[in-house]
Amino acid sequence: MREHVRELLDKLDTQVAELGRAAELLLDAVEAGGIVYAAGAGHSLAMVCETFYRAGGLAPVRPLWDAALLPLAGARRSSVAEREPGHGRDLVARANPAPPDVMVVFSTSGRNPYPVEVAQEALVRGVPVVAVTSLPASAAATDRSGTRLADHATVVLDTGVPPGDVIHPPQAPRTAAVSTILGAYLWASLLAELDRLATARKVTLPFWVSSNVPGGDEHNTALLARYAERIPEL
């Protein structure tokens, strides 16, 4: 299994151009005082958590989520809600993103109405969309929206997650999901590229610091004061 995961991770390193374009969108937003919105449903909410309020993470990130789509609040209900039209549009309407903000949408299959609507509604509002999705999984998934997340993205970061998300055993995969591993690696790669680009532009990015290192609490307190008004989840 280790070799298979490494192979999938190595393929992500070919997305230099896409990571560069996504980093430019994020940097333009942050430099102009905007917010990076992060949305997902079901297990993709694990990736939304990965973007928000963590050591080394970008501070101006607002997580978008609906309790009805959180598996911990009702697993079966969350699967049903992700397939029901309207939840994605309602969520974006409540958050009310606007330029210079940017929207990041995580969805492995990208085929349910929820992530598609989030991306569509963001674009209607003039907010660029970075889709973190799997093109192979999307091609093989059941079409529940008539379109796919990647069709409504300014930039697509392809995780390459295989259909069904599982890789073990190789001859008939049934376990060992990899979407979180690959998604987290792509997000970390995006932050690294964002930092490289910011350094080239001589822009100091607001990153969270671990509260378990000296000075961490003081550093983060300043960021909380700076962004709490626009990010109520803080």
Full 3-state SS string of the chain: CHHHHHHHHHHHCCCHHHHHHHHHHHHHHHHCCCCEEEEECHHHHHHHHHHCCCCCCECCEEEECCHHHCHHHCHHHHHHHHHCCCHHHHHHHHHCCCCCCEEEEEECCCCCHHHHHHHHHHHHCCCCEEEEECHHHHHHCCCCCCCCHHHHCCEEEECCCCCCCEEECCCCCCEEECHHHHHHHHHHHHHHHHHHHHHHHCCCCCECCCCCCCCHHHHHHHHHHHHCCCCCCC
Tell me the C-alpha distance between 116 and 131, whole Å.
10
Amino acid making up residue 152: H
Q: What is the pLDDT of residue 68?
A: 84
> pLDDT band at residue 199, thresholds of 50, 70 and 90?
very high
Once rounded to an integer, what is the mean pLDDT over residues 30-55?
A: 95
Tell me the whole-structure pTM to 2 decimals: 0.95
Once rounded to an integer, what is the mean pLDDT over residues 205-224?
A: 95
Q: Cα–Cα–Cα angle for 118, 190, 135, nearest 5°?
A: 55
Q: What is the pLDDT of residue 142?
A: 80
Residue 145 has pLDDT above 80, yes or no: no
Residue 129 has pLDDT above 90, yes or no: yes
Once rounded to an integer, what is the mean pLDDT over residues 104-125?
A: 94
Once rounded to an integer, what is the mean pLDDT over residues 32-61?
A: 95
Tell me the C-alpha distance between 67 and 157, whole Å.
26
> pLDDT band at residue 195, thresholds of 50, 70 and 90?
very high
Q: Which two tokens stand for residue 31?
A: 């430099």
Q: What is the pLDDT of residue 138?
A: 87
> pLDDT band at residue 77, thresholds of 50, 70 and 90?
confident
Amino acid making up residue 234: L
Q: What is the pLDDT of residue 184?
A: 96
Q: What is the pLDDT of residue 226?
A: 96
Q: What is the pLDDT of residue 14?
A: 93
Which residues make Cβ contacts (< 8 Å) with residue 202, sequence separation at least 6? none
